[in-house]
């Protein structure tokens, strides 16, 4: 038992030493590579973004193994690890899709700015695609078969339909109208804009009033009914939880019922996604079913067929039943008194 503890301590120490060594090495690299004037724009890295990525934890030497003490005076070009060395499964999946002939990993992903799928906004996901597939042109292409194509392309990451990504949830982002434009278009609000509006400097507090990192329906309603004052609104997007790289055109995504007939039960899960200082996004869970609230849960997000409000259904049923009162009630009395009218006609 004692020897096991000793072994564990040694292992931990080794790990920490290695991590410290890589971190120190990264710091050495960034001392030059954070300054574009020194290394040039193509080799400059923004440490504020890089430091928060998973790749930063590995350290620069993990991928650039050939860089030695003589760099850059030795004149040797630094080696680069291929993505598939670590991401073999993803690479295999991507190689099987038709997309791999058109773009390499680095055409879509900057290894020094990598984020997980839940750490980026839906707009960021589509910005990656729009590097080649201009969004306005894509909206036009989709109008040949997709009703309100511009709306769909604005509210859905492309990968929701063009990969077999799974477990779609509703993600809410804070949007803001530019101060100078009274009737301008609402845009995704950046971290600094939101920080300026937050009373205690914590942007979560704009919605999460009790700061419990959980957005209740009451908090959502309060935020939405106060938007006249704050000028902020929520934009909903349907985003995938599990992302795949098998890019393709899926026949079932052309069947509107794939999303629209999924029923309210499938639209219970939603998150609020907030911009952070490093440019990524942080998610807070939202009370289940909030997207289905009749009016003030998510005033600007509605998926026909899937996010209908049960309360409105009941009110509608009462109205229709009211319309049936006359035919049924009057009709019954009419039938019972039919002899009175027959006698008058005689």
Distance CA(114)–CA(243), nearest Å, equals 14
Angle (CA) 204 207 208, round 5°:
65
Q: How far is CA 207 from the centre of its chain?
A: 18
Cβ atoms within 10 Å of 68's Cβ, excluding its own: 10
Near other proteins by CB under 8 A, which window of 13-21, 114-122, 206-214, 335-343?
A: 335-343
Asked if residue 261 lies in contact with residue 326, where contact means CB atoms within 8 angstroms, the answer is: no
Asked if residue 222 lies in contact with residue 164, where contact means CB atoms within 8 angstroms, the answer is: no
Contacts with other proteins by CB under 8 A: the residue count is 54
The crossing angle, in degrees rounded to 10, of helices 135-142 and 122-130 is 90
Residue from 101, 183, 199, 201 in contact with other proteins (CB under 8 A): 183
Q: Is residue 80 a contact residue for other proteins (CB under 8 A)?
A: no
Residue from 57, 66, 79, 257 in contact with other proteins (CB under 8 A): 257
Q: Are strands 281-286 and 270-275 parallel, antiparallel or unpaired?
A: antiparallel
Distance CA(229)–CA(244), nearest Å, equals 41
Q: Is residue 302 a contact residue for other proteins (CB under 8 A)?
A: yes
Q: Is residue 218 a contact residue for other proteins (CB under 8 A)?
A: no
Closer residue to other proteins in complex, CB, 70/323: 323
Distance CA(74)–CA(72), nearest Å, equals 6
Residue from 70, 75, 201, 323 in contact with other proteins (CB under 8 A): 323
Q: Is residue 230 a contact residue for other proteins (CB under 8 A)?
A: no
Closer residue to other proteins in complex, CB, 56/220: 220
Near other proteins by CB under 8 A, which window of 65-73, 86-94, 205-213, 292-300?
A: 292-300
Min separation Cβ 326 and other proteins, Å: 4
Q: Is residue 304 a contact residue for other proteins (CB under 8 A)?
A: yes
Q: Is residue 231 a contact residue for other proteins (CB under 8 A)?
A: no
Residue from 233, 238, 274, 290 in contact with other proteins (CB under 8 A): 233
Near other proteins by CB under 8 A, which window of 6-14, 20-28, 77-85, 181-189?
A: 181-189
Q: Is residue 297 a contact residue for other proteins (CB under 8 A)?
A: yes
Asked if residue 275 lies in contact with residue 194, where contact means CB atoms within 8 angstroms, the answer is: yes
Min separation Cβ 271 and other proteins, Å: 19
Q: In 264-299, which positions are buried (b, 16+ CB within 10 angstroms) versus exposed (e)?
A: beebebbbbbbbeebbbbbbbebbebbbbbeebbbb
Q: Point out which residues bind other proteins (CB under 8 A).
A: 147-148, 150-151, 154, 183, 185-186, 224, 233, 255-257, 260-263, 293-302, 304-305, 308-309, 312, 315-317, 319-324, 326-327, 330-331, 333-334, 337, 340-345
């Amino acid at each position: 038992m004692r020897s096991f503890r000793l072994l564990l301590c040694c292992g931990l120490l080794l790990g920490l030493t290695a991590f410290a060594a890589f971190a120190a090495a990264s710091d050495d690299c960034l001392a030059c590579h954070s300054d574009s004037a020194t290394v040039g724009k193509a080799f400059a890295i923004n440490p504020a973004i890089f430091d928060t990525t998973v790749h930063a934890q590995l350290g620069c030497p993990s991928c650039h193994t050939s860089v030695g003490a003589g760099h850059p005076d030795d004149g040797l070009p630094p080696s680069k690890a291929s993505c598939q060395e670590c991401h073999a499964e993803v690479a295999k999946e991507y190689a099987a899709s038709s997309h791999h002939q058109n773009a390499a990993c680095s055409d879509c992903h900057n290894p020094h700015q990598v984020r997980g799928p839940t750490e980026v906004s839906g707009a960021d996901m589509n910005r990656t695609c729009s590097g080649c597939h201009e969004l306005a042109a894509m909206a036009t292409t989709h109008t040949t078969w997709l009703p309100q194509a511009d709306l769909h392309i604005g509210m859905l990451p492309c990968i929701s339909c063009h990969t077999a990504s799974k477990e779609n949830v509703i993600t809410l982002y804070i949007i803001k109208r530019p101060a100078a434009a009274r009737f301008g278009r609402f845009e995704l609000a950046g971290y600094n804009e939101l920080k300026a509006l937050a009373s205690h400097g914590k942007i979560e507090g704009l919605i999460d009033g009790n700061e419990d990192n959980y957005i209740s329906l009451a908090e959502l309603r309060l935020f939405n009914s106060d938007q006249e004052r704050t000028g902020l609104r929520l934009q909903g997007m349907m985003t995938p939880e599990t992302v795949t790289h098998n890019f393709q055109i899926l026949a079932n995504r052309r069947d509107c019922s794939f999303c629209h007939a999924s029923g309210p039960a499938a639209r219970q899960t939603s998150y609020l996604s907030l911009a952070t200082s490093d440019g990524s996004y942080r998610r807070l869970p939202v009370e289940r079913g909030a997207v289905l609230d009749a009016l003030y849960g998510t005033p600007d997000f509605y998926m026909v067929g899937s996010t209908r409000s049960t309360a409105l259904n009941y009110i509608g049923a009462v109205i229709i039943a009211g319309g049936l009162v006359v035919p049924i009630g009057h009709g019954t009395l009419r039938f019972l008194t039919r002899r009175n009218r027959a006698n008058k006609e005689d």
